[in-house]
Structure 1
Amino acid sequence: MLREVESNKKCYVPLVVSIGPYHHGNPELEAVEKLKFKFANQFCLACGDQISINQLYAEVAKVADSAREYYEEGTTTCYDNESFTKMMFLDACFVLQYMYILTTIKPKEEDQLPTMKSYLSAFVWRDLFLLENQIPLLVLEVLLKSRFGDNTELISDFLDLFPRPPEKTSCTNLVKKFVNKSCCDAVKKFVNKSCCDAVKKFVNDHCPGGQTNDKRKLQLDASPHLLDLMSKHLAGLAKPNHKEGTMDESDQWNSYRSVTELEEAGIRFRASKTHCVTDVMFKDHLVYGTMMLPPLFVDDTTKPLLLNLVAYEMSPNGPHDSHITSYIWLMDSLIDHANDVKELRKKGILVNNLGSDEHLATLFNEIADGLVPDPYAYAYAKGKIDTYCRNKCRYWIAESMHKHFSSPWTVLAFLGAIFALALSTGQTYFSAFPRS
């Protein structure tokens, strides 16, 4: 059904590399197919002398039958055990070595790939998150364990490379950056002895080896493939505020308008503190409201990624929730024209690396076409906005302020007029009642 949209057809097909059986053997992907042997050789050499390539291959062969069950019935029948295991082995080595090169600041000379140019590397990133281009994580895990032991941070670090808008420089961000880079068990021990509970919690949450890494490991164990991990990565681990509220509150969203129209009603927009698509909130102040949305970096890989995440959520064996679908639908309801994108760009919510704002507005309108979101998604925030907008008096005041006092020059002109009126009134009074 999703493929029927003409502008989206190419978003589900790999451009440079095939992973798994669905697009294996495509002659247009032959260039990177040859690179897989080089990647596999580098990966095996990095495992050390204690593990041979035959032993690594044997580990993959042990899980090959289980890996077959992840694919659609009948898809792998044309592969015998040896050819299927070989495909899984080469693809897994390629994916892991690619992750290692991208996540390592200064890879060793033998790991550097002058044959893979930057544009090709970007296309590989895109292709690794296609629904029809996945390899079961259990295959990656057996090779990861052979090279890195129980450390699975390679995949987590790879997901962290997902493009994000730069964080605003603040004292908290600087402290967080310092802690992430320099803290160790000794620092944490010192902090736990001498600091307040808030600082203890901050250090324990953000130090390497802390709770965050344990949560990541649990996520990896519960995921079938890389696209599922990205879905969880974008949705975050927590706060199900998208489930709050009632169906009645959620239904009211259909009457809401675009960003520019909501701003006219006195609703301001700010970037959320996290990049999770579930982190959408609304705060009602005395004379205005604030809607917080997660910041998003948009480039050429964004559309294929979002569409494949939607396809995964719609698939029979996909996740029960629809975080990404609901997020796209929300953004589409807020963005009608280029001016809406412009306002979100000003607030740091959108970083447009596509070109024109009109292009980005069209992107969300195309992606959201025909999508059915979770009816409870963001219900709490939407209910708050509905309550805010029902206050007609405040709505009228905000709309008047936006129309007549949106520029500092109009404010100055208004104050000048008041001052001139006051002087004129004073002059008239003293003319009528001069002092004796």
Structure 2
Amino acid sequence: MGIKNLSSDGKQSNRSITRDEWLISIDKYIEGQKPKIERIPSMLREIESNKQCYEPLVVSIGPYHHGKQELQALEKLKIRFAQQFHQACVNQVSSVNQVSINDLCAKVAEVAGDARKCYEEDSETKKIDEESFIRMMFLDGCFILQYMYILTDEKGVDQLQSVKSSNLLFVWRDLFLLENQIPILILKVLLEFRFKSKQERTDLFNNFFELMRVKPPEESSCINEVNKFVVKYCPVNVPKGKNQETLMNWEESPHLLDLMRANLIGSSGPGDKKPDSTADYWCSYRSVTELGKSGIHFRASETTNFTDVDFKSYYIYGKLMLPPIVVDDTTKPLLLNLAAYEMSPHGPSELKVASYICLMDSLIDHAEDVKELRKKGILLNNLGSDEQLAHLFNEIANQVVLDPLAYADVKNQIEKLRKNKVAVWATEGLHNHFTSPWTFSAFLGAILVLVLTAIQSYVSVFPRSSSPH
């Protein structure tokens, strides 16, 4: 029986060939260029409750959702933003070297061929001819850059008056969908007209991603108050934080979603430490409530990096540090698309966001777990009830694949403390007998009475002589 032939792109042709020819075709098989902007993996798209999280609500970026009827309302806004972006470019150069809108589009056309290779070729993308693709890249690129400028520059506030605030929020959501990306290459060539300095271009991206930064709660202290005063009344050049450093090489990223991932995971943190060879990589977390009964308390980490997870053991109790995160209507689509990006065939090699999702899912079972993390400043709930937030993390983790070594050192330390019988007995004793400040006060009062009674008894048995011998 004949065997289907393998073409150069890995697909089968209809011509039947012999086994020897088939084996030769495998030996000579050359994989085509890997797309940098992929489709959502089918195993994730099939989950009914998550389907809408992969679809844009108001604006299409790139070819995958281009031309959809429900997204036409903002196409006119793209034209307006392109005009504004062009005018900003004109204002940056002298009257002798005026930049025409044709110059901008021509520059996009030069790199459009490379940009097209970043997408998967399917029946939908093939419908878009070369000229239509160039126009789409030009409008989408100008739209994204002008949107970033409007949100980050004080001068851009005036241009917001004609844009609905709800649209601005939905655009933010749509810009970080896996199937709604354009190559950074397009943004790079357009930005060269807008800013002549590379640092200015980098600052635009840093300031844009700084908008979603969550500031960890800081303890009230004299030093903190002095620092605030100095920053307010004596402005100085403050060094870039850890999160901003990850965006300095933004030109090397394939798209905005990848930059968002870099912004969230940051550089390597405590959570990246690997345990020794004797550790149990497969030990799991328990819920916040259950860990609390084992003497484990929770604190907000110093940064918002998903890798900034650490555990400090004090023999009979421990502290688990977790990065603070704001949870709102954009959180579920963002985390799901980041996980889909990591799980896609040609995505990042490390499942850091997916592992963070699974970590939070294991810690959160019920509303009580959410409440405890809220009290510690780890979860900032702008979504609704604690029940809704608990359900969100449980839903997101469905079918998400994690790295079994992620946070392995932290998990191993937690497991050791949970197996420490002294810690368990001490925690249970405190929980059972000192559930309120009144019982603890009564306990201290009883101790004080016993001490005073003992002193009185000692004095009555061994009275001090009233006069010297």
* TM category, shorter: 0.7 to 0.9
Deviations 1:352-378 (A, max 9, x none): 011111111111111112222111101
CA displacement at 1:66 relative to structure 2? 0.4
Give the structure 1 partner of residue 227 of structure 2.
175
1:119 aligns with 2:129: no
The 2-side partners of 1:212 and 1:287 are apart by 34
The 2-side partners of 1:373 and 1:212 are apart by 23
SS in 2 for 1:273: coil
In angstroms, what is the RMSD of aligned CA positions?
Answer: 2.8
1:5 aligns with 2:37: no
The 2-side partners of 1:173 and 1:380 are apart by 35
Structure 1 residues not aligned, in runs of 5+: 185-202
Judge conservation of contact 2:299–2:376 (CA < 8 Å) in 1: yes
SS in 1 for 2:80: helix
Give the structure 1 partner of residue 309 of structure 2.
280
Judge conservation of contact 2:243–2:264 (CA < 8 Å) in 1: no
SS in 2 for 1:348: coil
State which structure, 1 or 2, has the greater radius of gyration over its C-alpha atoms: 2
CA displacement at 1:138 relative to structure 2? 0.3
Give the structure 1 partner of residue 329 of structure 2.
300
Cα 1:80/1:11, change in 2 over 3 Å: same
Within 5 Å, give how 1:199-214 maps onto structure 2.
205-206=239-240
CA displacement at 1:167 relative to structure 2? 4.1
Structure 2 residues not aligned, in runs of 5+: 1-42, 465-469
Give the structure 1 partner of residue 25 of structure 2.
none
Cα 1:108/1:3, change in 2 over 3 Å: closer
Within 5 Å, give how 1:331-346 maps onto structure 2.
331-346=360-375
Give the structure 1 partner of residue 59 of structure 2.
17
Give the structure 2 partner of residue 266 of structure 1.
295
Select which of 317, 323, 339 maps to 1:310. 339
CA displacement at 1:246 relative to structure 2? 4.5
Structure 1 or 2: larger helix share?
1
The 2-side partners of 1:101 and 1:366 are apart by 34
The 2-side partners of 1:276 and 1:25 are apart by 37
The 2-side partners of 1:275 and 1:250 are apart by 27
Give the structure 1 partner of residue 17 of structure 2.
none
Judge conservation of contact 1:68–1:76 (CA < 8 Å) in 2: no
SS in 2 for 1:268: strand
Equivalent pairs: percent with the same residue? 57
SS in 2 for 1:47: helix
User: Which AA in structure 1 matches 2:253?
Assistant: S
CA displacement at 1:159 relative to structure 2? 1.1
Give the structure 1 partner of residue 135 of structure 2.
86
The 2-side partners of 1:214 and 1:234 are apart by 12
User: Which AA in structure 1 matches 2:64?
Assistant: Y
CA displacement at 1:177 relative to structure 2? 9.0
1:148 aligns with 2:195: yes
The 1-side partners of 2:194 and 2:155 are apart by 18
Deviations 1:53-100 (A, max 9, x none): 000001100110000011112343212221100000000000000000
Deviations 1:204-257 (A, max 9, x none): x449xxx98775322x12210000000010000233642411476353532x42
Judge conservation of contact 1:242–1:378 (CA < 8 Å) in 2: yes
The 2-side partners of 1:103 and 1:325 are apart by 29
The 2-side partners of 1:240 and 1:433 are apart by 59
Give the structure 1 partner of residue 383 of structure 2.
354
CA displacement at 1:178 relative to structure 2? 5.2
1:27 aligns with 2:74: no
1:63 aligns with 2:93: no
SS in 1 for 2:180: coil
The 1-side partners of 2:230 and 2:268 are apart by 25
The 1-side partners of 2:61 and 2:80 are apart by 16
Aligned residues: 410
Judge conservation of contact 2:316–2:422 (CA < 8 Å) in 1: no
Select which of 321, 327, 332 maps to 2:350. 321
The 2-side partners of 1:247 and 1:98 are apart by 49
SS in 1 for 2:160: coil
SS in 2 for 1:351: strand
Give the structure 2 partner of residue 134 of structure 1.
181
The 2-side partners of 1:390 and 1:19 are apart by 52
The 2-side partners of 1:156 and 1:278 are apart by 20
Judge conservation of contact 2:270–2:307 (CA < 8 Å) in 1: yes
User: Which AA in structure 2 matches 1:91?
Assistant: D
Deviations 1:158-198 (A, max 9, x none): 111115256426635863895698325xxxxxxxxxxxxxx
CA displacement at 1:29 relative to structure 2? 1.0
1:245 aligns with 2:268: no
Cα 1:20/1:391, change in 2 over 3 Å: same
Judge conservation of contact 1:247–1:375 (CA < 8 Å) in 2: no
User: Which AA in structure 1 matches 2:326?
Assistant: F
The 2-side partners of 1:352 and 1:214 are apart by 28
SS in 2 for 1:401: helix
User: Which AA in structure 2 matches 1:175?
Assistant: N
Deviations 1:21-68 (A, max 9, x none): 111111111111111100000000110152110000011001100000
Judge conservation of contact 1:17–1:124 (CA < 8 Å) in 2: yes
Question: What is the TM-score when the length of structure 1 is the normalising length?
Answer: 0.86
SS in 2 for 1:82: helix
CA displacement at 1:108 relative to structure 2? 6.2
Question: What is the TM-score when the length of structure 2 is the normalising length?
Answer: 0.81
SS in 2 for 1:14: coil
1:217 aligns with 2:248: yes
Deviates more, 1:154-163 or 1:88-97: 154-163
Cα 1:108/1:93, change in 2 over 3 Å: same
CA displacement at 1:429 relative to structure 2? 9.1
Deviations 1:324-348 (A, max 9, x none): 1000111111111111111111111
The 1-side partners of 2:207 and 2:229 are apart by 16
SS in 2 for 1:77: helix
Cα 1:272/1:418, change in 2 over 3 Å: same
Cα 1:212/1:421, change in 2 over 3 Å: closer
